[in-house]
Amino acid sequence: MSRKQPKHLDLLKIRLPLPGWVSILHRISGAMLFLFIPFLLWLLQASLGSAEAYAGFKSALSSPLVKLVLFSLVWAFLHHFFAGIRYLALDMHLGIELGPARASSTAVLVASIVLTLLIGSRLW
């Protein structure tokens, strides 16, 4: 009995389930956090150096590009945090069935986006 196997996969036609998207975004958010550690440390150093450095820090924060980067980093932190809690629960065999797995991935996405918007509204 021979099945017709595809010769190549069309990655644009594959529909990834929601837990798959949460997994990919977890990896992306972790990479973002890792790569922006020097930037965040520079911001911390700039804010703690002196009164003039703090004024420069505040003027840098008025830039829309810096605000967008910080907004993205807030999302990355929140998504990575909530997805990490989800994966810890999955490692303890909690919510590994299809229904709870989809519900927890939806909760991760909703919580990270809503909290990002709330915190980002204070940033902007």
pLDDT in tens, 47-61: 888 888 888 888 888
Percent of the chain with pLDDT over 70: 95
Task: Judge contact between 124 and 63, C-beta under 8 A.
Answer: no
Q: What is the pLDDT of residue 66?
A: 85
Query: Cα–Cα distance between 8 and 44 in angstroms, integer?
Result: 48
Which amino acid, residue 91?
D
Which amino acid, residue 3?
R
**Could you tell me the residue ranges of all domains in the chain?**
18-123
Exposed/middle/buried for residue 46 (C-beta within 10 Å: 0-12, 13-18, 19+)? middle
Here the tokens at position 92 are: 């303890």
Which amino acid, residue 50?
S
Helices (H), 14-97: 18-35, 37-48, 51-61, 64-91
- What CATH architecture applies to the domain 18-123? Up-down Bundle (1.20)
Q: What is the pLDDT of residue 27?
A: 97
5 pLDDT higher than 80: no
pTM of the model: 0.83
